[in-house]
Each structure stands twice: as structure tokens, then as C-alpha cells.
Amino acid sequence: MNSKRILVVDDSDFDRDLFTKVLVRHGFEVTQARSSEAALEMIDQNPPDLATLDIIMPGTSGSALVQMIRKKFNRIQLPIVMTTIIDSPDSIVECLNLGANDYIPKPIHFEVAVMRIRTQLQLSELSREMGRLKQVEAIQAMITTCHHELNNPLGAAMCTVQIMDEEGTHDKELISNLKKSLDRMSGVIKRIYALNNQEHLVFENYANSTKMMKID
Amino acid sequence: MTAPMDEKRFLSNFVGLEDLIAPVINKFLEVSPSLMDQIRQSIAAKDPEALRRCAHSFKGAVANFQTNTCIERARDLERIGEEKTLDSAPAAFRLLEEEVTRLAPILTRIAREYQDRK
């Protein structure tokens, strides 16, 4: 956790340097930007694990910067913590609505700030882990689906071929059955392939805790 | 008259970071004359936007030292810049200067006390 990279964005050299020193002391790797424009460039080149943004900065404000970052990174991919000495809660609410994850009031209480940053990093990590688990679940369901949907027509096709082979026949009914099995398999494969284009995969229970993809 | 800063609260924020206290104070004492000068110049130039910006920067820097009155004085100047009511700026600036004058020796003493802390 402590080797996480933090980008500190603040136009005040004094505040930026002080907060950087504190974060470095707590084991974070810190990069600094004194403007929103510089921050955007740094984020594009090498996105940090978390960014802290001052709300009031000359040029592009911190709240505008939140919007720009959110066009490229969501709250899980790049958590943003606002730092502000603004008295009005409206600005804080606005930033949170625009996509900031949290805020730290100035003057910064360092211990609280570090804990809040760690919390955001942990939430981000947990969310990513949940995403990975969902992927694994989807892969398992897909395997079950393929096995279930393809096994029956494949078995039927193999039986038909075996009969034809043993009897040395080209019986039209057997060939028709074989074609039906192959068509069914082909249809299943097409429907599974079509799942690639679906945003939300729908699962259905197969047996006990085993899930399948709904492909119809 | 209230104390220029809440020393206890300031120091409690640096528990485990005591070696940063002197450098942080020294840095502030180094940059604050320049920040004050920028505020003075913005008032002389009758530039409300520059006054708002400079007063905001000063407020941010001085806030790290738990200096409620000083923060209030800087906030007053920031508001004057926002509201473009520059007539009251010279008097407000004098009040800020007085507060900074009261604050500086306290910061110097604390920096001296923590100069060699590791």
C-alpha cells in the first residue's frame, strides 16, 4: 500500500511541498503539479494511483480538472481527493458530484489526510479485485455454458457418424440428423460469440452454485 | 487579545514528523514577505483579482500554523478582492500586517526549539 503513487496538485508551492514531504514520510511515492494543465499532462503520461487536487487554482480550477480526469478515468481507476480551504460546503458538494472521491479540509490534518488517502486506495483496490472476481465468474459460467450447450449435439453427431461408419451407410435420415446436430452447435457458437457485444451478461442457475450464461 | 496561533494544535499535527517543523516554519518565514508584498502591490495597483488570488495564497500558507486571526485577516482581504471593494483594502492589510508581526517571533522561537530534531 505504501508504495502507491500520489499526484499532489496545488498552485501554492508552500502547501504542495509541505504535503508532499508528509506523504513521502508516510511511504508514498509523490509527484507534484502546480497547475491543472501540468497535472493533466502528467496523468496522461503516467497515471498515478490517486490524485489530490486543490479546488481553487488559477487557470483551470480543481473542480474543472475533476471533470476532465473523469472523462478518462472513473473513481475506481483514479481516486481523487480534493483539498480545500473554502468555507462553503457548496463547492465541496459540487466537486463530489463532479466525480471526486473525497475531500480534505485545509489546514490539512496530516494523519487524517493520510488515513483518508489510504482508505480511498483500499476501496479502489477492492473494487478492482471485485471486477477481477466477476471476470473469473463470467469465464467459469461461459465454460459451463459451452459444455452444456455443445455436449448434447456433439454426442448425437458422434453417435450418428459411428452408426454410419459401422453400417457403411449414407442413409438420408442419419445425414439429416447429423446436419441438425451440426447446425445446433453452429447456432450455439454464434450466440456465444454474440455475447461479446453485450454490455451486461445475464447469468442463470445451472445446478447448485454453478452458473451459466443466458445465450438465448 | 487572542494568541496569534494555537501552538499545541500546530505541534500535534507534526507528531512523528517533528524534524519537518523547523524547515516548514523557515520556509514560511522566507516566503511570507514576498506573499505580503504581492498583496501590497495588488492593493496599490487597485487590482481586485490579483488581491483575491494573493490573499488566498497567503491564507493557505498561514493556515498550516493554526493561526485563526491571521486566516481571518487574509480572508477579509480575499473577500475585498472578490467584492471589488478596494477602498477598505489598506486598512484590512494593516490588520494583517499587525497579525503577521505578532506571529513571526512565535514561529521563529518554535523553529529554534525544533531546529535539531531528527
More confident: A36 or A188: A36
CATH of segment(s) B21-113: 1.20.120.160
Return mean pLDDT, chain A.
Answer: 87
d(CA A174, CA A194): 30
First CA to last CA distance, chain A: 44
Q: In this predicted structure, which of A90-94, A102-106, A179-183, B10-14 has the lowest mean pLDDT?
A: A90-94
Of residues A58, A85, A110, nearest to B63 (C-beta): A85
* pLDDT per residue as tens digits for the range A62-97: 889 999 999 999 999 999 999 987 666 887 888 899
The reported pLDDT for the residue numbered A45 is 96
User: A38 with A68: CB under 8 angstroms?
Assistant: no
Chain A residues within an 8 Å CB radius of B17:
21-22, 25, 110
Q: What is the pTM of this model?
A: 0.74
d(CA B15, CA B12): 6
The reported pLDDT for the residue numbered B6 is 93
* pLDDT per residue as tens digits for the range B31-90: 999 999 999 999 999 999 999 999 998 998 899 999 999 999 999 999 999 999 999 999
ipTM: 0.81
CA distance readout (Å), A130 to A56, A123, A127, B50, B104: 35, 10, 5, 48, 52
Of residues A14, A21, A25, nearest to B28 (C-beta): A14
Give me the residue spans of the domains in chain A: 5-108, 133-213
Tell me if chain A has a CB within 8 Å of the CB of B91.
no
The residue in chain A having the minimum alpha-carbon distance to the alpha carbon of residue B28 is: A14
Torsion of CA A12, A14, A16, A22, to 10 degrees: -160
Chain A residues within an 8 Å CB radius of B24:
18, 21
Tell me if chain B has a CB within 8 Å of the CB of A144.
no
Contacts across the A-B interface (CB distance below 8 Å): 49
Query: B75 CA to chain A: closest CA distance, Å?
Result: 10
Q: In this predicted structure, which of A41-45, A149-153, B55-59 has the lowest mean pLDDT?
A: A149-153
A208: left (phi over 0), alpha (psi -120 to 50) or beta: left
Give me the residue spans of the domains in chain B: 21-113
Cβ pair B57:A18 closer than 8 A: no
d(CA A8, CA A19): 8
* pLDDT per residue as tens digits for the range A19-35: 999 999 999 999 999 99
- State mean pLDDT over B1-16: 90
| CA-closest candidate to residue B60, choices B29, B28, B38 | B28
**CATH class of the domain comprising A5-108:** alpha beta
Of residues A14, A106, A111, nearest to B31 (C-beta): A14
The reported pLDDT for the residue numbered A87 is 63
pLDDT at B118 over 70: no
Residue whose cell numbers read 487574509: B74
Residues in Cβ contact with A147 at an 8 Å cutoff, skipping those fewer than 6 apart:
none
